[in-house]
Structures are given as structure tokens and as C-alpha cells.
Structure 1
Amino acid sequence: MTIKWMRTLLLTVPMILSNSACSNLNTSSSLNLGSGAMEKPKVGEMTPLTIERLYDSPALAGTSPRGLKLSPDGKRVTYLAGRKDNQHFYDLWQMDVASGQQSILLNADKLTIGELSDEEKARRERQRIYGQGIMEYFWSDDSQALLIPASGVLYYVSVNDGSVKLLPTGDGFATDARLSPKGHFVSFVRDQNLFVLDLKTKTLQAMTTDGGGAIKNAMAEFVAQEEMGRMTGYWWSPDESAIAYTRIDESGVELVTRNEIYADGIKLTEQRYPYAGKNNVQITLGVVQLNDSKTQWIDLGSEQDIYLPRVKWLPDSKQLSYQWQSRDQQTLDLRLVSIDKPNASKNLVEERSDAWVNLNNDLHFMKQQESFIWASERDGFNHLYLIGLDGKVQKQLTSGDWVVDEVERVDEKSGWVYFTGRKTLVTEKHLYRVPLAGGEIESISQRSGMHSPVFADNEAVYLDYFSSLSQPPQVSLHGDKGQQLAWVEQNKVDKSHPLYPFFGQWQLPEFGQVKAEDGQALQYRLFKPTNFDANKQYPVVVRVYGGPHAQLVVNSWSEHDYFTQYLLQQGFMVFQLDNRGSAHRGTQFEHVIYQQLGEAEVNDQKAGVDYLRSLPYVDGDNIALYGHSYGGYMALMGLFKAPSYFKAAISGAPVTDWALYDTHYTERYLGHPDKNAKGYEASSVLPYVKGYQSGLLMYHGMADDNVLFENSTKVYKALQDEGKLFQMIDYPGSKHSMRGNKVRTHLYRSLADFLERELK
């Protein structure tokens, strides 16, 4: 149940060269997000925002490139841009770093864009990739060529002459394609087997042949994609001599027939879905040599009911690391194996927890010394450690009561580790660097907000994808110390910007804290209505997610806030609070929810309501709870368990019975059902249906393959059996993310109408 925000963009990307440090482009005051109010922008017109305009073209956020990359040599910025007549159809564009000139690198019309396979559709749903045209691309290591997958075929694009060549991949749909590390080969998966194409000889070689049915080679299983953030099942050695890959056997996983209900019929889909407490796939790890296609299997130990969340080669191409995770996720080992001794793995790192061990992508093996960087929460907060290949910690690079988000770049030559984290404020993400030898942390990014850098592979330059509550996403090019070199997309809210007509009424929130029952601080943000009058009382919509690995109370631009702005203009207040269990606050804050969901989270939201009711301008009898996914679950639990706090609730695509959700996510927090039956029962929505009084609206996509539609229908039936009145809206053909302008427009019109009737 991951969260990823969709970034929208338009065709042209204006660029302005600058040698000065990047400055905030809006006219709002400087922000202290620990508490207090943020001043709303003083630019823009006062046009009322309509629901029909929220997600219509052009996008309110303006131009915002997606798929941002720097060529390995740092000479080109590349990005995907939508067309003026169809913002969801993407071409590939480039900017020359030296001159600042921008041009189209590849028009998608030169490619054959057709129907996707069911496997690729599912994979893109897991990746949260939406749109048509060019959706992915990969640079060669020498920066001279690009590999572009399109509808199951592969294209090789020469950067110098612009030639586009269709690669001979054989019959069938090629997926998970990539260039080898030195650019001599292209690899891909077809018909559940791994293939390699020699780009010089155009020879196609099958590296595996037994894939089919329940056997899948070089493919990530469902929970790896959806819950572990691992979208692949194979990894090239740096010298291109071998490929490590997983072989999964799904035969023991329960085969279910899932109904996807569309407007013109029902599609029956057979899927092997690992329900909580049931069988997972059997997974093995092998290394296949390119010279003879023979596989050596790695001895993973006697325990078979495990996860392999990460695999990574060492720079010498002779050793392979893999992360071994126990079924209960309380144990995570980093193991090392020499390819010539596949039965002799050794442990480098052992992570243990009485609750669960979080995964990350922050393993980096050094080329110039026998050591690696590793991220760990062993002291309660995620921090970086330098560890030798003997497994001994050489130094802790970061420390304190704050968390590192991720390692962004390791510059061994200059001796710096670049990382993003929450050292400045928990509500913001900034770029920092720390000496590899240990020492003081330096702040690189300056502006208040969220910074997501993209570094070049071989040069110390980076792209900064930045946004804040008062600034839609901007992209700028920076040097190693943070100095701005150029704009890629300034996205200034001037009179030509799509947001300008509405920006005069754009409201910014107050940030603050309330205390949880155990004394921990809970961050909140409170949006006051347009034309706020402290002598009046206003109804409140509490927008909630509340689940693990998510954070709503941030200084960041999000299209999910557009509906919030609409509600503010209709006279509602909007309140958001990150309850215990949510992200970026350390293990003590997160682990409170272990073995029972929906208890501490609801109590924290109640504490938020208690605070709201202490405010003289809040109508304490008219408070509604609204959320989607885990937030939908929270909306039901809040309304059913605390009806005196919430007059109404909107629940979108909720998990209602955790026995219906997958193993890796559910068991991480609740354990195995056989060992925690009471916890599963207490965490389900269904035992609390009798507490429901009135004021419920539920909605769900009827083709949702993440949170299955059955989760909502079980609540429908339980409420009907109790004779309880409620409302429901179900969307034929919609998945979990509720995509499409028509669907979203209808949905938000319905939600606004419901809130008007229930709270006013």
C-alpha cells in the first residue's frame, strides 16, 4: 500500500540561466514550520476554483517535467514532456547543459505505441506509471545512446545522429528492459524467461528456459513490487560477465479469481494472491554466466519461507550481496557470497527488531576501499554507517533525533556522501553532505520545502526537483555545493501560469503540535477558510491517511491539496495530523501500532479533534473524517469507534479486513494471523459496525487490484444486515488510484455535495 504522487507536465519548458543561488519565486513570507501561520501568496487573481478545473488541462501546477535524468557525463538533462493537446502523451526532451538550449530528443510518433500486455499493465500499476507515449528510457554508460521500451518492443536511439533502431527481441512482449553496465548488451524478460541481446552481433540469447506457468525467472513477485519497492528480478554484474536473478515458484500461492467490473462487462482475472497468513512464493537466487548460459544457485539457507528484498553486486563482479528477510520481518541480514563459492554466504550485517525492520535502498559498496555505506535504525532513527567488508562498523556518519531519507550520491574521489533527510525540520526534506571520513554535516539545499535531487552518474552536478506549499514544482541544475547553474523549469506563477487566476485565494496552513497519550508530539497543519473571520464558527474536514511510511503534514506541493483549496473556498476548515505509526519520526513513533492497527492512530486523531474543539472558531459538532486507502480505513474506524468525535466520514478504497490484504504489508504490522488472531480481529473494521450511527459515504474502484473491492462489499453487507443507512459510489473500471479527469470530477463533486449536506 505504497503512496507515490503523480507529477504532471506540459510540452514546453522555459529555461533561464542564473549564477545566483536559487531564490523563492513567490512573495509569501519566510516560513517557520514548527508552529504558526504561513502567509498566503500575494500574487494572482481571485477567480473561484471549481471542481471541474481541479484536474483539467492545463495542469494547475504548470509545467513539471517527469522522468528527470542527467546523462552519465552530465552534459544533458533529459525529461518526458506531455503534449499541448494531450498532457498524458509523452515525448522525450533534452537540455544542453552548456548552452541551456532545449529541444525534442525523440518524438514518440517515431515509435509503435500499442496495447500493453497484462503483465506490463500490472507492473506499471505497481510503479504508479500512468500515460502513453514514451514512459521509460535508459542512458548508456557512455552517454551516446538510449534504450526506450514501447509496448513490448525495444528501440535503440543514437544521440549523435538521432537514428532510431528497432531491436530484434523475437516474438512476444519484452518487459523490464535495460542496457548492460557498459552498454554492450540489452536484457529483458519475455514469456517469464530472461534474454540478452548482443548489440554488436544482434545475437539473442536465452539465459533461462524453464519459465512459464507458476515459474517466473528474473521477475519480481507481487509483494516485492507492491510492498518492497523492488520492481525487478535480475541484476547485471558491473563487468557484464554474469547476471544474478531470482526464480520464483508461485505454485503454492493461492490461485484466486478476481472480478474486475467494467461498465460494459466483467473481466475475470486469475491471480496468485498471497493473503496474510497464507503461502508466499518459493524464491531462489542464481547467477547465470553470459558465456555459457549456465546458472549457479546460491545457498540461501535451510529456511525457505523468506523474502529477498534486495540484491546488489560488489564492484569486483566476483562477489554478490543479498538481503535476507525473515517472514516475520523482525530479522534482516546483509549477506555476501563469492560467485565461485555459492554455498558459503557470510553475514555482514544483522538487523533485529521486536516489531519490524524497515527496508531501504541505501547500500553502497566502495570501489577504493573494502567498505560500504549502510542505513540502519538501530539507534531508533535511520542513519548512515560506514562498515568494513569484515562486518565491523568503522564509523557512524550521521546521528541525532532525526532521520536520513536516502543516500543520493557517494563521491569517493572528493570524499563526500550526499543524502536527503529531515535534520532541519521533520516537515521538510533537504539535501546535505557529510565527509566520508566523518565530520560535520553540511546543508546543501536552502529553500524551505521538499528537495528531491537527481545526480549525474559521473559528474558532481544534480537536478533539484523542488516544491513547497506556495510554489508548484520547479527543476533547477546545481553544482556540488548547491550553487544554482541553470533553470530547467522555473515554473514561476506569473500571469501566464495556469494557477495565476486562482492563486490570489490560495490558502496556506498553520503548523503546530499536539500531544499523543504517551507524550509524543504529533505534527498538524490547519487550513483556514478563504475570508476567514475569527468571530464565526466553521465546520472542519479532517483529511487523513494515518498509515505507515507516509507523511501528510509537510511543506510540499501536492495535487491532492487542490480539493482542500476548493473546500476552503466553500467555507470549510481542513485539518491534517500525522498520527503515531506514520513516517520520518523514528521507530518509537512508528512501532506503537505493532500488532494492533486502528487503535493508537484513531486515538491520535481524537486528540487532534480535542484541539480543534478548543478553538473558538471551530464548530465542534460538525467535524468529518475523509481519507483514501489506509485513510479510508481510518475514516471507517474513526466514525465507528468514535462517533462522538466525527459527525460524518468519507471512506475511499479502504482495507476493512486485514485477512484480505497481502502477506508482506499486513504481517509486518500485525504479525502472522495464527499468532495474533486477536490483533487481526481488533484491527478489522467489521467488529465495530454496530457502533455506526449515521453520516457515511464509501467509494471504491470496481477494478481495484491493490485493495480489492471485496473490502468494501463486506462492509456494505454488514451495514445492510444491521439496517444502517449509508451511501456508496462505486466506479466501474477504476483502479486504486482513481485516475481520469471524468472519474475525479464526478468523485469530488459527490464528496463536496456530501459534506455540504452533512456538515452545514
Structure 2
Amino acid sequence: MNKIWINSLLASIPLLINAPMINAHAMETHMDGNKSPLTIERFNASPALAGTSPRGLKLSPDGKRVTYLVGRADNQSFYDLWQMDVATQKTSILVNADKLAGGELSDEEKARRERQRIYGQGIMEYDWSADSKAVLIPSAGKLYYYSLADKKVTELATDEGFATDARLSPNGRFVSFVRDQNLFVLDLSNNKLQPLTKDGGGAIKNGMAEFVAQEEMSRYTGYWWSDDESKIAFTRVDESDVEQVTRNEIYADGIKLTEQRYPYAGKNNVKIALGVVNIGSKKTIWIDLGKEQDIYLPRVKWLPGSEQLSFQWQSRDQKDLQLRVVSTNKPDSSQVLVTERSKAWINLNKDLYFLEKQNAFIWASERDGYLHLYLYDLNGKVKTQLTQGDWAVDNLEHVDEENGWVYFSGRKDTPTERHLYRVPLMGGEPEKISSRSGMHNAVFAEEKSVYLDYFNSLTQPPQISLHDAVGEKITWVEQNAVVEGHPIFDHSGLWRTPEFNKLKAEDGQTLYSRIFKPVPFDAAKKYPVVVRVYGGPHAQLVTNSWSEQDYFTQYLVQQGFIVFQLDNRGSAHRGTQFEHAIYHHLGKVEVDDQKVGVDYLRSLPYVDGDNIAIYGHSYGGYMALMSLFKAPDYFKAAISGAPVSDWRLYDTHYTERYLGNPVSNKKGYDASSIMPYVKGYQSGLLMYHGMADDNVLFENSTRVYKALQDEGKLFQMIDYPGSKHSMRGEKVRNHLYRSLADFLERQLK
């Protein structure tokens, strides 16, 4: 690794591009409301500061009901299922979680929810029937069927054991689920329960997503129904070759030893097979995945007609991705429809859609440097490129074949906002559907082009509205207006909105940043700065969005700190050139870009350039350590939460995507590790970690602790017994943020 910083970067003040504010709100100092100071205890307490902020948004298949999960006023983490009748616009509770049995989750389900970032109690998941007459609700390993006609909740007969990943079949006749690592179906017409696999157990898992599929591919299931309900495609995972480690989960009252098969970078992955089981005969056929066995299977999807199955085949180095289609009548012969190749890596997406009225499909690709949508025929030939330009599509949201429209979310106007657009199915210019500045997440009904808009911005907590096909608002589902009586109203008069700026990286690419000034602000004073960072792939901080992570930012600015954020190269929604800058060497250009941000801060007359700290969690914790150790003349102090310290301790799919194999790229792994830079540490470090973290293992921090101790370096650490990677729990978060605030006060003032 080249350890010499570029002199021109160190010596120069970065060019500030004159850029308009993201929207009118960004020019305002505060929202309207009272001026009660925000406390750490308040932003972690119930009711939630964001107000009524539902999750689990769905439209019933017929589009007549909006359903969502709402946390209770006295416990924002306990959810009931609510509904809104679209015709009458009346809202009411649909299922009270008290009607369901509570209980402890299985270890497997706890891990699955941690992967999905699902936190809370009560009703956390539900599934609509195709006829919109019933809802399936899993709860603590039991399954419940709610009939809208008789308004009754019935516990389904799933026998003993913990049922997970449950769902209704496409036409609603069956309920499928996984128990004891086998796949089961329950026939609702006669309550007959049947196992579809029987060899699950130990290292064999049927119908279940392996660790890296859940954590790194956003694939949380291992089975897929055919549309006609006659078959289920499923994965059979064999973990026998994956290294088994004993992981210590340290709790306040003892240590839990957990045996876990963890695929460390460069080590063995699971062996994966893809089968199709016939519901009637229970016979399974196995799909030929090819000679190469050390692969990934990130996506599986049935084609209309239920006779052909598609799967995405990804090479171990993630430079090759193939879309293959196979007939269930000829499982040994698959056709490659699309091949994607990259000199760095291929990002996965969920944007494959097979049309029903023509032999074609929509596919998303970054082949021209940005994620865009393409229309293919079933022979694998491109018919038309649906979107193009120096901007990125976020997601394919909905296809209206009847009227010839493709709806997608993207960043056509600015990378700091997400909007909804539509483009003609046969090609043409995109139309912008959403209007308000901010972040729009659309949820469409299955049978018609109406959608829910889950909107938020810097000045608007999440609110939900129902819209027609051209974006006209039909009604509010949850307006969540910040008016008197709203939980945040008493504090909103002091709520600071940031200023957005553009800086230049050393390679000329644009870096977006935002700065929150103190409340009150005096331009004649000099203020200490906290740089809040994530900095890793597939993430973005500098947006016009509402975020619970910004509550601590608002607290800090009220304590007299400036808070600054910059999305360095490697982060999301900026195209492959911007992302691939980190390939084979992490922690280099990311730190360089954060230094550009500090150079800019030091050019401001109201910044105390000698008192700048950096704070981040997870990849941000890694960035905090790297920045303090490699650039102590830029950062006086750092807070590092749950950091990766050596990428050899992290999993295959994530780590090898960016660093390759640890044998062939030993130099890159060494240079990307925290450990070589420990000697550069001078002072001002606080580290914290959850002692039951099963994502970034606690060992990552203990290695840094030991290295610093061996060097005789003084630092502070706070470790949380029983806490996982996300540091959940009101008491834990109160203590954590109070500790962070106290540390910053002592270090920077």
C-alpha cells in the first residue's frame, strides 16, 4: 500500500461547487414548533419522536385496503396490525397482537430477524391471501389465520416446533413454512400437514437461506411457489465444509457458547443445490447448476406458466452473473439468457420481471456505469434500453402491462433524493410521478396501478398517502403532520436543517456533503465538529431524508457542536466508477475523501479546526479507526462502534466482493486492516461493541484492544453485555449516547 498522502490534497483547500439547496426546506433554519431542548432519554423513549410511523406497508391484492403495522403509544416497539378502507378512508385496528400467543423466538428466527433488521414485539410480519379475504400472521413460532369475513383469528395446526418463513401459496390454498430445517405445507382445505423434505437437520438445511444470502444478498428465504401452486422450488444447503466456530455471546449473567458455521473470507462456503418438489407427488427433481460448485445462488424466480424456473448464478469472485432459465421437464439443460461481467464486481438487485402478455422480461444492469432497466426477449436479446443517463435507478417498482408502463424509483434529478418515475414499456422518455422533494418509497397493489407513497424528508417524518397511476393523491393514510400534539412538536422549533455542498475528490469526482450548524449559531464564534460517517458500500448519509440516526445529531448541535457528513467514494447511488474506487483496497480513498471534507471545514471561519472528531458504527466504526490512526493531524478524537478490524474476520460474500481472495490479494487485505496503523494512534479514542454481536464479531474489537494495550496506548472502551450489532433497547441506547456525548464534551471542549 502507498502510505504517502498526495501532497496537493494535503496542501490545498478543496473546490466548493456552488450548488442550490436540495429544496426550499433545506434553506430554513428550523421547523415550526416549540423550543424545548431535546434530551437523549426523550429520543429513545415512547412515543416515538417521528410520530405515527407505520412499517410493513401493504395494499391488499384487490387494492381495497391499506394495511400496516403501528407501534403502541406506550411501547413504540410493540406492533398491532391496522387497516384503512380505501373507499371510506376510515382507519381501524385489524388484528390486536394480544390475540396471538407471545413467547420466545427460536435462535434461528432471532438470527433471521437480525439479518432482516426486524426489531420489536407483537405482529412483525403478515401475508395477504390472493383473494384479499384473509391474512396469515406468524407469531413466536405459531401461525395464525385471520378471516376478514368473520373477523376471527384461528391458530393453524402446525404441530410441535417453531414455524418460520411462513407464507400463503399464490392462490391461498396452502400455507408453507420451514420447521427443523425442513419444508412443510399445510392444506387449508382439509388441515392436512405434509413434509416436503425430510433430510434436514445438522448441516443440512432445506428451504432456508444461508448466512451470507441473508446478510449480504438480501435473500431471506430458500423457497419459491410456482404460480399454479403445483410446485415449490427450494434450496438445499449443506454447511458441512463451512468452518464451525464457537462464538461467545457474553451476557450480564453468563456466557452463551454458540456453535456457528461462519464462512470467513477465503474459506469454504456452503454447498448449494436447487430442487423443485411437486406438491402432489412429493417427488423432487434437481436442477443442474453446472460443474462449478463453489458458486452463489442469489435469486430464484418462476416464469409465468409455472413450467420454467429462472435462477441467477454468481461466480465466487462475483465478477460474473448469469441469468439462467430451465424447464422443470428438462432439469439438466438450462439456457443462459443474460451474462453480466465486471473487472471489479457485479452488484445484485431484485429487478427481474417476466412479462405475462409477451415473451419478454425486464432486467436491470450497470453495464453502462449506472443501474438502468432493459427490456429483453426470451432468447436473451435486448429489445430496448428503458432508462439511460448519468444517474441510477433504485428499484423496479411495478409493471402495468395493460397500459404499457414501467414504474421505477431512481435518482434522475439528484442523487440526494429518491423519486418515482414511469417509462413506456416499449421505450421512451421517463416521466416523474412524485413531486415533493425528499425520499419516496412506493408500494403498488398487485391488480391495479395504485400505490402507497411512503414519504419523508429532512423536515417531514414519514407519512403515507395513496396515489393513482399518474401520481395524484387519493387520500392520506397517515399524514403525520408536525402540529401541536405531535411528539416532535415541542422540540421542532430547535430542529436544525443542514446546508448541502459539493466538494471534489482527488480524481475529480463530486462528493456530496451536508453540515448542521449549532443551535443557536453565532458566525463570530468557532465551534468543534463531529464528523458522522458510515463510508461503506451500499449506503448513503447525505440525503434529504428523515432518519432516527439524526436525533443524536440534533442533540449535538443543541450542545454547541457542528455535525458534518460526507459520502465518500465507494458509497451508493453514484455509479460504478464512484463505487469501484475502493476495489482491492478498503480504507484508502474513503479516508482521503473524509480528509477533503475536513479541509473544507477548516476553510470555514466558524469552525475550530483543531477540535474535530469522527464517529461511526459498523463500517463507520472501521472508518473512524482508520481516520484517527492514519490521519491524526485531521482528527483529534474518534468514536468507533462495532468496527471490523481485520477483513479476514468477516464473511466471504461481502469481503471478497471488494477485496478478492485473501491469498491472491494478501497485500490488499493487510493494507485494509486496522492493525498496521495502531502505531499511528496518539490519543482520543472511544470504542464500543455489543458482546453478543453475531455480524461483526466481538473479536474485531478485542484485537484492537490488545494491540493498543501492547503498544501502551491509552484509550476508552464500553462493551455491552447481550447486545447485538444494532445496539437495541432503550436502556442500552440511553447509556450509549450519554457516554458518547460525555466523551465528545471532554475531548473537544
Which residue in 1 is equivalent to 2:378? 389
What displacement does 1:237 show?
0.4
Q: Distance in 1 between matches of 2:320 and 2:728?
A: 37
Q: 1:345, 1:547 → 2: CA distance?
A: 36
Structure 1 letter corresponding to 2:190: T
Q: Amino acid of the residue matched to residue 540 of structure 2?
A: Q
- 1:35, distance to aligned residue in structure 2 (A): 11
Q: What aligned pairs does 1:230-249 form with structure 2 within 5 A after superposition?
A: 230-249=219-238
What residue in structure 2 maps to residue 715 of structure 1?
Answer: 704
- What do residues 342-382 of structure 1 show as CA deviations (whole Å, max 9, x unaligned)? 01011000000000000000000000001000000000000
Give the direction of change, closer, same or farther, for the CA distance of 1:447–1:36 in structure 2 (3 Å limit): closer
Counterpart in the other structure of 1:684: 673
Match of 2:475 among 474, 486, 489: 486
Match of 1:449 among 424, 438, 457: 438
* Corresponding residue number in structure 1 for 2:717: 728
Aligned pair partner of 1:173 in 162, 168, 172: 162
Partner of 1:19: none
8 Å contact 2:47–2:74 — kept in the other structure? no
Q: How far did residue 51 of structure 1 move?
A: 1.3
Question: Which amino acid in the other structure matches residue 495 of structure 1?
Answer: E
Equivalent residues in 2 for 1:288-687, closer than 5 Å: 288-687=277-676
The question of 1:218 aligning with 2:207 is answered: yes
Q: Does 1:154 align with 2:131?
A: no
Provide the C-alpha distance between the structure 2 equivalents of 1:626 and 1:702, rounded to a whole number of angstroms: 20
- Written as runs of structure 1 = structure 2, the 5 A alignment for 1:3-152 is 32-33=21-22, 38-152=27-141
Q: Which runs of 4+ in 1 moved over 3 A?
A: 34-37
Following the alignment from structure 2 to structure 1, what is the Cα–Cα distance between the partners of residues 604 and 78?
47
Q: Does the CA-based 8 Å contact 2:267-2:652 persist in structure 1? A: yes
Q: CA deviation at 1:754?
A: 0.6
Give, in whole Å, the separation in 2 of the partners of 1:733 and 1:38: 43
CA contact (8 A) 2:529 2:612 kept: yes
Q: Secondary structure at the match of 2:391?
A: coil
Task: Confirm or deny: 8 A CA contact 1:45 1:504 kept in the other structure.
Answer: yes
Aligned match for 2:737, one of 736, 741, 748? 748
Check 1:34–1:681 CA distance in 2 against 1; reply closer, same or farther (3 A cut).
farther
Q: What do residues 412-467 of structure 1 show as CA deviations (whole Å, max 9, x unaligned)?
A: 00100000000011100000000001111111000000000111111211111100
The 3-state SS of whatever aligns with 1:674 is coil
Paired with 1:61 and 1:700, the residues of 2 have a C-alpha distance of: 27
- Measured in 1, the distance between the counterparts of 2:389 and 2:25 equals 25
Structure 2 Cα separation of the partners of residues 253 and 391 of structure 1: 35
What residue is the counterpart of 2:8 in the other structure? none
Q: CA deviation at 1:32?
A: 2.9
Distance 2:91 2:523 in 1: 50
Measured in 1, the distance between the counterparts of 2:184 and 2:462 equals 39
Q: Give the secondary structure class of the aligned counterpart of 1:452.
A: strand
**Are the equivalent residues in 2 in contact too, given 1:196–1:206 (CA < 8 A)?**
yes
The 2-side partners of 1:610 and 1:267 are apart by 47
Which of 237, 244, 255 is matched with 1:266 structurally? 255
**What is the match of residue 7 of structure 1?**
none
Q: Using the TM superposition, give the Cα deviation of residue 36 of structure 1 relative to its aligned residue in structure 2, in angstroms.
A: 11
Structure 1: any 5+ residue segments left out of the alignment?
1-29
Aligned residue for 2:10? none
The total of aligned residue pairs comes to: 731
Give the letter aligned to residue 490 of structure 1. Answer: Q
User: CA-to-partner distance for each residue in 1:657-676, whole Å, 9 max, x for gaps?
Assistant: 00000000000000011110
Offset of residue 227 of structure 1: 0.3
Distance in 2 (alpha carbons) for counterparts of 1:240 and 1:434: 32
Q: CA deviation at 1:84?
A: 2.6
Q: What SS does structure 1 have at the residue aligned with 2:357? A: coil
Decide which moves more: 318-327 or 51-60. 51-60
Match of 2:5 in 1: none
In the alignment, structure 1 residue 287 sits paired with structure 2 residue 276 = yes
Listed one character per residue, the Cα deviations across residues 292-349 of structure 1 (whole Å, up to 9, x for unaligned) are 1111000000000000000000011000000000000000000010110001011000
Residues 360 and 376 of structure 2 are in contact (CA less than 8 Å); yes or no, is this contact kept in structure 1?
yes
Separation in 2 of the partners of 1:585 and 1:423?
11
How big is the shift at 1:535?
1.1
The 3 A distance-change label for structure 1 pair 300 and 327 is same
Q: 1:709 to 1:488 in 2, by over 3 A?
A: same
Q: Contact between 1:36 and 1:512, CA under 8 Å: does it hold in 2?
A: no
CA distance in 2, matches of 1:124, 1:64: 20
Cα–Cα, structure 1 residues 42 and 216, in superposed 2: closer, same or farther, change >3 Å? closer
Query: In 2, are the aligned partners of 1:257 and 1:269 still within 8 Å (CA)?
Result: yes
Q: 2:547 and 2:633 mapped to 1: Cα distance? A: 31
Is the contact between residue 232 and residue 277 of structure 2 (CA under 8 Å) also seen in structure 1?
yes
Name the amino acid aligned to 1:181. Answer: P
Secondary structure at 2:312's aligned position in 1? strand
Find the aligned partners of 1:488 and 1:37 in 2 and give their Cα distance: 26
Distance 1:85 1:37, change over 3 A: closer
Write out per-residue CA displacement over residues 562-589 of structure 1, whole angstroms, 9 at most, x where no aligned residue. 0001110111100000000000000000
Q: Can you list the C-alpha shifts for 1:696-730, whole angstroms capped at 9, x where unaligned?
A: 00000001000000000000000000000000000
Counterpart of 2:14 in structure 1 is none
Shift of 1:48: 1.0
Report deviation, 1:83. 2.0
Letter in 2 for 1:318: E
Q: Percent identity of the aligned residues?
A: 75
Q: Report the residue type matching 2:198 in the other structure.
A: T
Which SS does the other structure have where 1:518 is aligned?
Answer: coil
Shift of 1:621: 0.6
Residue 248 of structure 1 and its aligned partner are, at CA, apart by 0.5
Whole-angstrom CA distance in 2 between matches of 1:46 and 1:152: 46
CA offset digits 1:669-690 (Å, max 9, x no partner) = 0001111000000000000000
2:187 to 178, 198, 204: 198
Separation in structure 2 between the aligned mates of residue 490 and residue 83 of structure 1, nearest angstrom: 17
Q: Which moved more, 1:484-493 or 1:578-587?
A: 484-493
User: With structure 1 as the length reference, what TM-score do the two structures score?
Assistant: 0.95
- Structure 1 counterpart of 2:12: none
Q: Secondary structure at the match of 2:76?
A: coil
Secondary structure of 2:75's aligned partner: coil
- Report how far residue 534 of structure 1 moved: 1.2
Secondary structure at the aligned position of 1:122 is classed as helix
- Deviation string for 1:135-192 (max 9, x for gaps)? 1100000000111111111111111111221111122111100000011111001111
Q: Is the 8 A contact 1:311 1:322 kept in 2?
A: yes
CA contact (8 A) 1:34 1:511 kept: no
Displacement of 1:34 in angstroms is: 8.8
